[in-house]
Amino acid sequence: MTDAVFETNLPGLLYRGKVRDTYDLGDDRLLMVASDRISAFDVVMDQPIPGKGVILTQMSSFWFEIIGHVMPNHVIATASDDVAMSQVERTGALVNLPPELARRSMVIKKAERLDIECVVRNYIAGAAWAEYEESGTMNGMPLPDGMKAADRFSEPVFTPSTKAKSGHDMPLSPQDARDLVGIEMHRILEEKSIEIFQVAHDYAAERGMILVDTKFEFGLVDGELTIIDEVLTPDSSRYWDVNDWAPGSFPPAFDKQFLRAWLLDTDWNREAPPPTLPEEIIEQTQVRYLESYRRLSGESLIL
């Protein structure tokens, strides 16, 4: 197994996010490197999950292919794809990109990001369940009485949130979302988010997995709406085994929920600094990410 990568330091650093380090390559191209940092409740943990960035990059690359017929994406090449990279000019951080970083890196088109998280839910879980328990609503909109944990909605629901530069993302009501991005853009984002979700949900179902919910990010590339960042990874999505699901309780998750559940059992106030992660939690989180990739792609990653 390769060593964990908490942060990278290459030429041309443009932005360091919760997980990804982004570098300017010139000519409206960026290098996006997925570190092994992991965040929960919008706080970055002090310990990384070894190999997580490799899993995220390879899983995003896999899913971008699956959903490519629905919407264009920002990927020019995954840096570990020698064939694709043979067509890419080596500038900036690409000139001496270490081989151990290539599997966790993508060359992407620069996009004008839309500051909205496009969340789609097909089951009630996570923050949506917490809000429902407290007020009977989801994103401020009333839900039927008597819903159970992990209940399935009659159809996927678009529940966007803010894209906070710092602090916590906040759920948006339909009107708040329209006010943020405009009526027509909101309609397109809802339509495309649900369409992409449905394609991925059906694909996962054929492999015995439930895509519970996920979040997408979009931007404009040369004026064209484009899906950006990562897509359908265990960082941004919730996955269950279809055989484990029954309304009334939450089944074991193949995503970040294992870490969140441990954090919820501590007395942490969800503000920095986070608690120290036990080795067992780090190892089991990695196992779930790897298993998610294996079940969905049909291939095993060797880290």
Predicted pLDDT at 169: 81
d(CA 13, CA 11): 6
Which pLDDT band holds residue 163 (cuts at 50, 70, 90)?
confident
Cβ count within 10 A of residue 282: 20
Q: What pTM was computed for the model?
A: 0.96
Domains for the chain: give ranges and CATH numbers: 13-110 (3.30.200.20), 113-264 (3.30.470.20)
pLDDT for 216-272, tens place per residue?
Answer: 999 999 999 999 999 999 999 999 999 999 999 999 999 999 999 999 999 999 999
Torsion of CA 242, 61, 56, 76, to 10 degrees: -160
By percentage, how much of the chain surpasses pLDDT 70?
Answer: 98
Average pLDDT over residues 147-155: 98
Which pLDDT band holds residue 167 (cuts at 50, 70, 90)?
low
DSSP annotation string for 225-245: EEEES--S-TTTEEEEEGGG-
